[in-house]
Structure 1
Amino acid sequence: MDVDDFESVRFSGTPIDLLEQYFAAHGWTHDRQGDEEIVAQYQGSWAKYELRAVWREEDSVLQFLAFPDIRVTTDKRSAVYETMGLINEQLWLGHFELWQSSGLVLFRHAALLERSDEMVLTLDQAETLIETAIDECERFYPVFQFVLWSDKSPADALASAMIETRGEA
């Protein structure tokens, strides 16, 4: 099934079923881990992202995570926390966080789905979850790199990365 066919299909089943079909329609490598979880790979312009969705039926919540392949050493964690604070102030959906145990940066947000006989995730909701996570990781990846590799202050890194270019080189 390609992307155009995918958009006209009516879905039934769990949100993970819909995401599995979405990833397949886009040709993304993915691995389903039971009825409650799926993991996919997406090649962005900065890094290869791991996309993970976890369905909690008892709460009617679909949590979506994107891992932008950023690992933070202990000595850089305070600067990254400050960076995330500045970034998160600008986000409408989701947030960045740092997992203490592994030092991984991730983007996370969730959808509370309507309770009914069947939990329904629409294609529009799925696209918003996925595209928001990818777009924000792509948008802010350079900020983290400036802090981690160029030793810029979080404020300078954010200012440098947010410069909008116009025209073509």
Structure 2
Amino acid sequence: MMMLDDQMSDRDDGALPIDMLAYYFDAHGWSHERSGDEEIVATAQGSWTQYELRAVWREEDRVLQFLALPDIRVPADKRAAIYETIGLINEQLWIGHFEMWASSGMLLFRHAALLDAGDEPALTLDGAETLVEAALDECERFYPVFQFVLWADKTPAEAIAAALIETQGEA
């Protein structure tokens, strides 16, 4: 983060939340598109899959909603198991949650930041990093769980137990 801070320190003052996310995405070399001052969409490669990252700024509510969409679509016959999996996973999360859009079967991680009610939006570059990295970390952590349920026919409890085993030592 130190190099990123050095490059971006002059951009912190007065920037809109979407601007700060654009700076962050630029610094990582991630392609992104903006839709005015209210929305930005980027792509980032994780270790398991590619993610679509989407942020929407609602000035009137001072809320920045952030979504990370892994490349996972849930077929109709697996939706009940994925809903159960999502429930078990969400019990473990402090910030944000997983959900599945019923119309498309698209799985996503969502969280929001209520930003300072002062005159200037209060998303710093550090805040942008925290927002993005928290979402990506949770997606990467739980991606294998969803795959075990979808492709290995594991129950949600079995998938969580199998995917979240803490390894000891080094191979």
Shorter-normalised TM-score: what interval?
over 0.9
User: Aligned partners of 1:67 and 1:123: how far apart in 2?
Assistant: 22
Q: Is the 8 A contact 1:51 1:66 kept in 2?
A: yes
Aligned to 2:39: 37
- Is it true that 1:6 corresponds to 2:7 in the alignment? yes
User: Percent identity over the alignment?
Assistant: 71
Aligned to 2:99: 97
Q: Secondary structure at the match of 2:168?
A: coil
SS of match in other structure, 1:28: coil
The structural deviation recorded for 1:88 is 0.3
Q: Please report how far the alpha carbon of residue 119 of structure 1 lies from its aligned counterpart in structure 2 after TM superposition.
A: 1.5
DSSP 3-state at the match of 2:117: coil
Answer yes or no: is the 8 Å Cα contact 1:20–1:38 preserved in 2. Answer: yes
Supply the distance in 2 between the matched residues of 1:97 and 1:18 (Cα, whole angstroms).
26
1:36–1:54 CA contact under 8 A, matched in 2: yes
Would you say the 8 A contact 2:8–2:23 is kept in 1?
no
Please list the CA deviations of residues 2-44 of structure 1 after superposition, one character each: whole Å capped at 9, or x if unmatched. 7253353333221001110110011111111111000111100
2:157 is aligned to 155
TM-score using structure 1 length: 0.95
Q: Shift of the alpha carbon at 1:168?
A: 2.9
Structure 1 unpaired stretches of 5+? none
Instruction: Provide the aligned length of Structure 1 versus Structure 2.
Output: 168
Render the CA deviation track for 1:35-80: whole Å, top value 9, x for unaligned: 1000111100000001110000010000000001110011100000
**1:111 aligned partner:** 113
**In the alignment, which of 8, 21, 27 is matched to residue 23 of structure 2?**
21
* Residue type of the alignment partner of 1:111: A
Relative to structure 2, which stretch is displaced further, 44-53 or 10-19? Answer: 10-19
Write the deviation string for residues 59-117 of structure 1: whole angstroms up to 9, x where unpaired: 00000000011100111000000000000000010000000111100000000011122
> Counterpart amino acid of 1:132?
A
The one-letter amino acid of 1:138's match is: E
TM-score normalised per structure 2: 0.94
